[in-house]
């Protein structure tokens, strides 16, 4: 190898740099392959690090010479046991769904209402196929692909940079790029490629993939990038995350710009300027579905104007400016072999259909949800008949349907095939796990085990929830492992995850002496647990698995209280905390009661406190830098705002880090009083809370 290593990068000629960059890239890649392929390492770690930092230095000085396969910038090359992780610069959200024309109309009306448009004004929408693949986020710095990451939990994804170099439609180097770009899209496998891959898998005696989506996922998430390279994958860009600058004024021209940069962009994108147009476009894409050559599962509509997209912003899970209109579900008939009752983390008894395995839209289905006892009996939650009132019995011939990734459901039953002597299903009135009474409250469709935290099923489900993907996302702790540890009483409550290693050590127990565990997986598990001690307030609250406290409510509560201690203090106040809780925008009575119940019930509360003592709780997210002037303030909107809808005003306040409350109290900082504001304004005056007119509010926004 050319040894210029002592020469400062800036003093090299371009030709010298090119030679050294090529040599270093080759040496590092071959060293990585030897290392990750578990052959003997070619060079030691220190030498590897020093070569890598030299390459990084050269690439920074001569960035046009960087080779696409360069190992630099891959945040943590995949360790032998898994992928590196990376935080997305901007979270990867999901999409709200629309299942029929009515849902689509609702989506458009919601947008109109939010923006304060009248019915004659129609914000234009783009329409494009919804690709049934895996989302991918690509980051580029100065036009060079720096990192590719899967969606992961939306905040942190798995780094698969080495695996995208051969994905069609992903440019590795862009001449006309923005300084930093996070480009989002979908990786998929075409039908032709899928058949070829399965053919060669069959010949080699390898795994046969059930559908192109699984094949794409299995191929992209390969630790050995040589395998990925041998699998034909493609990519369509459909959007972006963080950008230095802008790609255009509207969605359509931004997509054109991405196409000019070398990204594959779906050729079916078009503009719609009326609801009829949207419905027609949906039908048109659906009609083409079987001829596209790749799987799609719906049509995505996006507000075309990027200025309006910005005004609409996001809810906590999805952008308000886009919707996925889904194709109707796929169905199949099979026999209902048995009905099992599972007990969830909040005690809900959920009936699950065990089915004779059947293929529904390319996926083998053997379980389906039966919702609740009414559903089995042939009624909906309002007591209206469904399926013409036909009940479901064990042994029946039933129709199963499946829409996208949604859990399969039992839709119908064929009475002509009902076995003679079959009997209606008797829904249990005691918990099948702990034997406590299973109670159905008035107005609730669900029967619940009354055993609370003492019910082993509820304990176990809370543990699983706590480490699941949307919560702590602890890898290496799958459901089977938790069940096993639970059976051995190694785990009982969430705090136990964090004391497990110390307790095992005390008892002289090593996991790696057990089947399925090795030294590396044991070390990784405890390192992973350690890394999760620092946890965001909202995540922790959501992770407790309290009824009605989902991700959105947890986020609202966390933003309201800011710090964990403030929430606890509120729960400990003599007077009931309900008043404060329900004053929080979006927190209703049921959520408040469930929260207060769990915090005030001694056994549960002790478990929560033991958990909190193990953790370093990150206060709730404050707004982005530069907009912090009013962050943390509590604001109340009252009366009619003329220039902006209430929804937009609240979203803007939230984006500034304010807490929105629906009632005025001594804790309120600001009241925006629109036209015809009555009692809240009066109360604000009495309490001496600052009152803003609509004009003041717009001035505040401009600040």
532 sits near ligand IVH (criterion: CB under 6 A): no
CB of 191 to ligand IVH, least distance (A): 17
Interface with ligand IVH, residue 237, by CB under 6 A = no
What's the min distance (Å) between Cβ of 137 and ligand IVH?
Answer: 9
**Whole-angstrom Cα distance, residue 501 to residue 579?**
41
Q: Are the beta carbons of 444 and 450 closer than 8 angstroms?
A: no
- What are the DSSP E strand ranges found in 344-491? 349-360, 363-369, 397-402, 409-413, 438-440, 447-449
Three-state DSSP at 206 gives coil
58, 72, 93, 474: which one binds ligand IVH (CB under 6 A): 93
Nearer to ligand IVH, 65 or 93 (CB): 93
Min CB(131)–ligand IVH separation in Å: 4
User: 144 forms bridges with which residues in the sheet?
Assistant: 141, 173
Task: Residue 343: name the closest of 477, 444, 453, 443 by CA.
Answer: 453
Q: Verify binding: residue 253, ligand IVH, rule CB under 6 A.
A: no
Q: Which stretch binds ligand IVH (CB under 6 A): 78-86, 317-325, 381-389, 567-575?
A: 317-325
For the CB of residue 551, give the shortest distance to ligand IVH in the complex, in Å: 16
- Residues acting as catalytic residues: 130
| CB 419 to ligand IVH: min, Å | 40
> Per-residue x/- marks for ligand IVH, 284-313, CB under 6 A?
----------------x-------------
> For residues 383 and 241, what is the distance between their CA atoms, to the nearest angstrom?
45
Q: Pick the closer one to ligand IVH by CB: 96 or 593.
A: 96
DSSP string, 252-265: HHHHHHHHHHT--B
In the set 52, 88, 238, 345, which binds ligand IVH (CB under 6 A)?
A: 238
Q: How far is the CB of 330 from ligand IVH (least distance, A)?
A: 17
Under the criterion CB under 6 A, does residue 94 sit at the interface with ligand IVH? Answer: yes
Q: Interface with ligand IVH by CB under 6 A: which range of 11-19, 54-62, 129-137, 619-627? A: 129-137
Contact indicator for 372, 391 with CB cutoff of 8 Å: no
Near ligand IVH by CB under 6 A, which window of 74-82, 128-136, 222-230, 629-637?
A: 128-136
Per CB under 6 A, does 135 bind ligand IVH? yes
Beta strand ranges found along 201-316 (DSSP E)? 234-243, 270-272, 296-303
Instruction: Print the binding letters for residues 505-524 with ligand IVH: x by CB under 6 A, - otherwise.
Output: --------------------
CB of 696 to ligand IVH, least distance (A): 34
Phi then psi for 494, rounded to 5 degrees?
-55, -35
Which among 680, 588, 595 has a CA at the least distance from the CA of 640?
680
Residues 470, 494 contacting (CB under 8 angstroms): no
Residue 32 contacts ligand IVH per CB under 6 A: no
Contacts of 578 (CB under 8 A, 6+ apart): 589, 592, 593, 596
Residues 378 and 390: their CA atoms lie apart, in Å, by 5
Closer of 58 and 220 to ligand IVH (Cβ): 220
Torsion 168-169-170-176 (CA) sign: positive
Closest to ligand IVH by CB, 247 or 611: 247
Among 130, 326, 409, 448, binds ligand IVH (CB under 6 A): 130
Output the furthest CA–CA distance in the chain (Å, rounded): 90
Please pick, from the candidates 31, 95, 115, 612, the single residue that binds ligand IVH as defined by CB under 6 A: 95
**Residue 436: φ, ψ to 5°:** -65, 165
The CA distances from residue 79 to 83, 524, 526, in Å, are 6, 11, 16
Tell which one of 189, 308, 322, 641 touches ligand IVH (CB under 6 A): 322
Residues that bind ligand IVH (CB under 6 A): 93-95, 128, 130-131, 135, 186, 238-239, 300, 319, 322, 324
């Amino acid at each position: 190898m050319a040894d210029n290593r002592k020469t400062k990068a800036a003093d090299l000629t371009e030709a010298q740099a090119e030679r050294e960059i090529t040599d270093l890239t080759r040496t590092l890649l071959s060293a990585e392959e030897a290392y990750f392929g578990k052959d003997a390492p070619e060079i030691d770690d220190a030498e590897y690090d020093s070569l890598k930092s030299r390459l990084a230095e050269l690439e920074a000085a001569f960035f046009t010479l960087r080779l696409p396969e360069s190992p630099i910038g891959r945040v943590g090359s995949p360790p032998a046991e898994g992928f590196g992780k990376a935080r997305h610069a901007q979270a990867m959200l999901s999409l709200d769904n629309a299942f029929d024309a009515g849902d689509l109309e609702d989506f458009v009306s919601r947008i109109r209402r939010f923006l304060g448009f009248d019915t004659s004004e129609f914000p234009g929408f783009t329409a494009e196929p919804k690709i049934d693949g895996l989302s991918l986020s690509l980051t580029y710095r100065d036009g060079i692909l720096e990192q590719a990451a899967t969606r992961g939990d939306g905040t942190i994804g798995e780094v698969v940079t080495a695996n995208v170099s051969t994905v069609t439609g992903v440019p590795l180097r862009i001449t006309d790029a923005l300084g930093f770009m996070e480009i989002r899209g979908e990786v998929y496998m075409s039908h032709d490629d899928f058949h070829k891959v399965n053919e060669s898998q069959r010949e080699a005696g390898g795994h046969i993939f059930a559908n192109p989506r699984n094949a794409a996922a299995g191929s992209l998430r390969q630790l050995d990038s040589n395998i990925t390279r041998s699998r034909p994958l493609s990519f369509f860009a459909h959007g972006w995350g963080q950008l230095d600058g802008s790609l255009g004024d509207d969605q359509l021209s931004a997509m054109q710009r991405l196409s000019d940069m070398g990204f594959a962009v779906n050729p079916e994108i078009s503009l719609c300027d009326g609801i009829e147009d949207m419905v027609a476009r949906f039908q048109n894409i659906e009609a083409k579905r079987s001829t596209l050559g790749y799987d799609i599962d719906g049509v995505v509509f996006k507000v075309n104007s990027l200025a309006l997209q910005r005004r609409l912003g996001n809810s906590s899970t999805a952008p308000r400016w886009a919707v996925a209109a889904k194709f109707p579900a796929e169905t199949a008939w099979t026999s209902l072999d048995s009905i099992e009752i599972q007990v969830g983390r909040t005690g809900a008894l959920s009936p699950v259909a065990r089915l004779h395995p059947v293929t529904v839209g390319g996926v083998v289905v053997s379980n389906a949800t039966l919702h609740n006892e009414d559903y089995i009996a042939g009624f909906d939650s309002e007591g209206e008949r469904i399926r013409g009132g036909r009940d479901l019995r064990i042994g029946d011939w039933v129709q199963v349907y499946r829409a996208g990734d949604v859990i399969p459901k039992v839709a119908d039953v064929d009475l002509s095939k009902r076995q003679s002597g079959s009997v209606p299903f008797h829904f249990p009135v005691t918990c099948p796990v702990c034997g406590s009474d299973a109670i159905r409250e008035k107005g609730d469709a669900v029967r619940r085990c009354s055993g609370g935290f003492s019910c082993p099923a509820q304990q176990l489900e809370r543990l699983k929830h706590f480490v699941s993907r949307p919560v702590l996302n602890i890898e290496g702790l799958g459901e089977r492992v938790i069940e096993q540890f639970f059976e051995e009483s190694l785990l009982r409550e969430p705090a136990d995850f964090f004391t497990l290693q110390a307790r095992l050590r005390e008892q002289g127990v090593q996991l790696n002496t057990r089947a399925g565990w090795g030294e590396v997986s044991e070390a990784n598990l405890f390192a992973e647990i350690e890394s999760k001690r620092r946890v965001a307030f909202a995540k922790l609250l959501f992770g407790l698995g309290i009824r009605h406290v989902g991700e959105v409510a947890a986020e609202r509560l966390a933003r309201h209280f800011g710090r964990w201690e403030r929430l606890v203090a509120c729960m400990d106040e003599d007077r009931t905390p309900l008043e404060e809780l329900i004053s929080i925008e979006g927190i209703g009575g049921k959520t408040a009661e469930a929260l207060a119940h769990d915090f005030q019930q001694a056994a549960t509360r002790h478990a929560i406190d033991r958990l909190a003592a193990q953790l370093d709780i990150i206060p709730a997210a404050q707004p982005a830098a530069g907009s912090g002037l009013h962050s943390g303030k509590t604001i109340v909107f009252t009366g009619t705002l003329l220039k902006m809808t209430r929804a937009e005003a609240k979203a803007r306040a939230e984006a500034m880090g304010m807490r929105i409350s629906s009632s005025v109290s001594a804790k309120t900082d600001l009241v925006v009083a629109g036209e015809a504001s009555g009692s809240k304004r009066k109360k604000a005056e009495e309490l001496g809370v600052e009152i803003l007119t609509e004009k003041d509010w717009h001035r505040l926004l401009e600040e």
